[in-house]
Each structure stands twice: as structure tokens, then as C-alpha cells.
Amino acid sequence: MGLVKKGKDLWFFEDLYTDTTYGFKVAKVIVPETDTGFQKLMILETDRFGRVLILDGIVQLTEEDEGIYHEWIAHWPLFALQRPARHVLIIGGGDCGVAREVLRHKSVEKVTMVEIDRMVCDLCRRHMPSVSEGVYDDPRFRLIIGDGAEVIRQMKGKCDVIVIDSTDPIGPAQSLFNTDFYQSVYDALTAGGIAIHQTGALILQPFEAPGSWRQLERSFDDVRVVQFANISYMGGPFSLTAGSKGKGVFKSAERNALKAFKKAGFKTSWYSPRIPALPYPEFQKRLETDKYGEEVVMDIELPGRSCPDAKKVGKWALRTCDAIHMIPFGEPITASSVLGEGETLVQYVETSAISYRRYGRLAALNCFTCAALPMEAAVRFSIDHFKAQRALCWYLPRGSFVDVKAIRKNTRIFEYDRAADRAPKGLMPRLLDSSDVFAPAFSFFRENKDSAFELIMDIYDCDYDKIASSPAVARWAGSEFPKMTGLRTVGNADAPDFGHAKKKTAGPSVVQLLQGGSNISHYSVNWLMIVVNIVINRRFSLEKTIRRTMRYFKGRYAVCWLLPRGNSGRTLKEIAENTFIFAVEDK
């Protein structure tokens, strides 16, 4: 929203979130919105907060409370060290608030700050001098104008503490939220060193800290989240995520901080080593979650001769959103209003998608979310909506960070009866080696001749540049995938922008409708993962499709399921015996 006139007064409203905002009254515009070449900068004067720095419509700091953020992100790692820091690297931080706090430590001999946007430094120094007070006159301080992701590669083993004081993972800061960058940060640390990164509001940006946590875990020896609150950062609890080079660094962090703080002999206004700043138990649980999302797959026998059209199925999708407490995104996607044999309808939701297609008398439904899924509510509502008696269901944990045997144990195949109070315990899929699945003698297609099936892929450790690019994912779905499989597309791949920081959105989605089915995928920049659902009634090469998809996204590992879909007359045991799970390693 930006600047808005309310009667005689001028107000500012933040643009970070698509469904919520906060604002304050502006006394004076000090620097009108200015395009720096990297972002849009504005500095405002307010009676309540003093001067306020805004980048791309998002509040970065206010003179009133900037010390809360700058003291915590600087002093927490510096005092946590087992030995005093000598060289500190700051990436971003053009307002110099972090540098100001770091330079209060007498042990620090050198502070290097790498800021990509010179205008941030110049305008903050001129119009908000209290933030950078004394920094530019200190001979220990060195400013480099450049890309932190590039500069850090030249600093292997040189830094005791690295502070990543960036904006959110959009625009010029996007390169600072990926695994390759975090590995460069780890390499730049000395033994026992600590890196710390701002990772957003824990409630309103619920996947930012867990995503960074997961990426840091791949490179660092220990990971810790620091929680505090700052009035200028909407959403209540705010997070910093820290990683250490060496095990056991954080075990002694509180003890080290108490001693070092007392020895330092200076006073702080907001930071104290006696404040543990541990995340609330609920946030810690979210950080340690072992899966990216949840999915329930349903085959429901349609009563009589009913063949629901797109209007009726669209109502099912929208009301399913209500049943599972999700917000629909955009209008339903479908090839036609008739929804004939194998034709698909997809409804995006705020965390992924809900989909439908019909094979004979069976409605083949999928409901996937990147948040907690009220599975029974989704199944019960679907049975009621289509006036059916029961549903054949598969429950799948998606993107689990455990081995394939554990994923199999958490996968359930069950029948849900309309009269039942709850879902039964169910059966598990068959675990096979990928070589057996890819062998010519594999019996799945012989036993499911002329029937629909579903290939599900969770591909891990993908290439950041591919996962971060909606056009690259759409190109895979609309062009590369049809070449791999020989399947014919209907229309173009749809890859909407869900909007950064949209509540509960862990990753965008791509839909490619196919003749006889669909290819629906969801991908996460934070988790470097793509999860794929291909439902189709035509056979294709599993090995070629899985390996080429892994190669396209440079994924290192995949967990796959193979499900028979649209099958009537089979017992639950027969369905379970014909449902497979297997893992595929990168060759």
C-alpha cells in the first residue's frame, strides 16, 4: 500500500504480506521513494518511531527500536564464542547498525561489511546518523560495495563471526537464502565460529526459519534459533538462525556469554545474556518437523450415472478448502466444463493444490498441503459431497527427512466408510529396490493394464537456480516432461506467483494438464525440493522419467510411490499389494 492519505494525515502501510498489514502516521517524507538500481528506498519521519528506513515497501528499521534487532544479531554470536572474535564479516547491513554494535567489542580487530547497494549506505549515513554513529570513523571498519555471495568465497577460514543482515529472500537478498551460499559461509568461518542470519517473523513467515534451519543443517555442525520481538517487525516473535563450525559450540553459549558480557564492561539497552531467547516450544516443534507436507489421495465411487461437471467439482474444491481451513488461490484450472474421462480440475490453495479427475465410475481426488492436513475432514467432506458411501485412501507424508523405510511406515492405505467415526489403521505399501521397479519383469503395468495410475516423486537437494525459477519449473512441466514420457499436454503449464510471505505458503506450484490426467508439482526454494504428482491412464517409462527429472533439477535423491488409481472391485489388501514405494539415488 505504501503512503496513503487519510483525511489531512499521511500514513504508511507495509507491503510485505498479501493478506495483512500495519501502518503508522507520517510526519514528513525525508527521502521520497527512490529507485537505487537494486530496490526502492524511502526514509520517513514519524512522531512515534523517529525516522524509518523502508526498502521495497517493507520497514527495515526505526530509530526508536533498531537497537533491539542490532544488539541481538551482533552480541548474541559474539558473546557466545568460546574465544573472543577478531574478524567479523557483515553481509548487508548498509544502515551500519550491526557494525556499530560489533565495534563495541574491543577484541574485534577488523570488521568487513559487504553491501550491494551503495545508496543505502549513503542515504542512511546522511539522514539517520544515530544508527551508524562512529562506524565510518573507526579504522577497524572496511566497507565493500558488492555481492556478499561473491565476496565470501574469497574469505575461507578468515572470519570468527559472520552476520547476514539482509532483507527478506526477495530482490537483491535472494542469493543469500540458499544452500550454496550457506556452504560458503561455513567455509569462511574459523573453527568454533558462528554465523547468524535473520529469518523472519515466526508466525507470519512460518516457513522461512524452518527452511533456513534445514539448509543450515546440511552445512553447519549445529543450528540454533534465537527468538525476540521488535515492534517494527510485524508478527510478534522474530527469528535469527545461527550455525556453528564445530560441534558443541552452542552447548556452552549461555555460559560463555555471561562471562564475556561481564568482562566486556559495556552496557546494552536490549540484549542481555540472562535472556535465553529460546523459541517457544511450538516453534521449536515446527523447526524439527520431519516432513514438507501431507497428502491424502482418494478414489471415490460415484453413485448411479453421475458425471460431475466442472461447476460441481469446483464447488467440491472450494468447500474442501473450508473443510481443511485453507484459502483458495485463483480460479479452478480445467481443460473443459464437461470434465470427461481423465480430464482434470485443479484448485490452488495457499499451500499447494486440490485436484480431481474421473476414470469410469471413480473420482480420483488428491488433496495436498504444506501445512498440517485435517485428513479425516477432507475425506469425510468428499464422501458427503459426491453422495458416496466410502473412499479408498492413501495417506502420504511428503518431503520427509527420514529414510524410505520410515516413510513407508508413515504411509497408510485404508478404506474410509461414511458411517465410520475415524479412519482405520490401514496397510502399508510394498517397499522395493528401484532396480526391481525399473526391471522389464516389473508386474505393475501388466496387472493394471488399461487402468490409471499415479507416479509420485519427492526429489531432494535440487539445484537452487532451477527451484528458484518458476519459468524453469514450468519449462520442465510443459516441455521437458512430455518429451520424457511421450504424454500429450493440454494447454500450457500454469506457474502462478503465490506471493512471498503469503501465510503458510511454503512453495509455489505448477500445473500441466495432460490428455488423460495431469502433472501437478510443488517446489520449495527454502527446502530445495520438488514434489510431483503424475496421474495418468497411459503407460510411460518410470526410470527415464524419474532419472531425467532428477537430472533436470540436479536432485541427489528421490522417494517415489506408485499407486493404482481408478480401480474398482479390488480388496484393500490387493490395492496395498499393488502400491509401491522406492528410493532412487543420483547416478
Catalytic residues: 165
Strand partners, 529: 524
Q: Output phi, psi for 561, to 5 deg.
A: -120, 150
Q: How far is CA 29 from CA 21, 63, 96, 312, 359, in A?
A: 20, 15, 21, 52, 62
Integer Cα distance of 384 and 382 in angstroms: 5
For every residue of 477-543, which 3-state class applies, written as one string? Answer: HHHHHHHHHCCCEEEEEECCCCCCCCCCCCCCEEEEEECCEEEEEEEECCCCEEEEEEEECCCCCHH
Short-list 254, 246, 385, 237, CA closest to 311? 385
Separation of first and last alpha carbons in the chain: 49
Q: What are the residues whose beta carbons fall under 8 Å from the beta carbon of 262, sequence distance 6 or more?
A: none
Q: Would you tell me the crossing angle of helices 208-219 and 179-188 to the nearest 10 degrees? A: 50
The three cell numbers of residue 369 are: 498441503
Strand partners, 301: 362
Burial of residue 231 (number of CB atoms within 10 Å: 0-12, 13-18, 19+)? middle
The CA-CA-CA angle for residues 14, 522, 537, to 5°, reads 150
> Is the distance from CB of 10 to CB of 3 less than 8 angstroms?
yes
DSSP annotation of 260: H
> Is the distance from CB of 329 to CB of 496 less than 8 angstroms?
yes
Short-list 417, 307, 420, CA closest to 361? 307
> Is the distance from CB of 333 to CB of 511 less than 8 angstroms?
yes
> Is the distance from CB of 307 to CB of 403 less than 8 angstroms?
no
> Is the distance from CB of 215 to CB of 528 less than 8 angstroms?
yes
Q: What are the residues whose beta carbons fall under 8 Å from the beta carbon of 10, sequence distance 6 or more?
A: 3, 4, 25, 26, 29
Integer Cα distance of 31 and 19 in angstroms: 27
Short-list 488, 478, 476, 489, CA closest to 550? 476
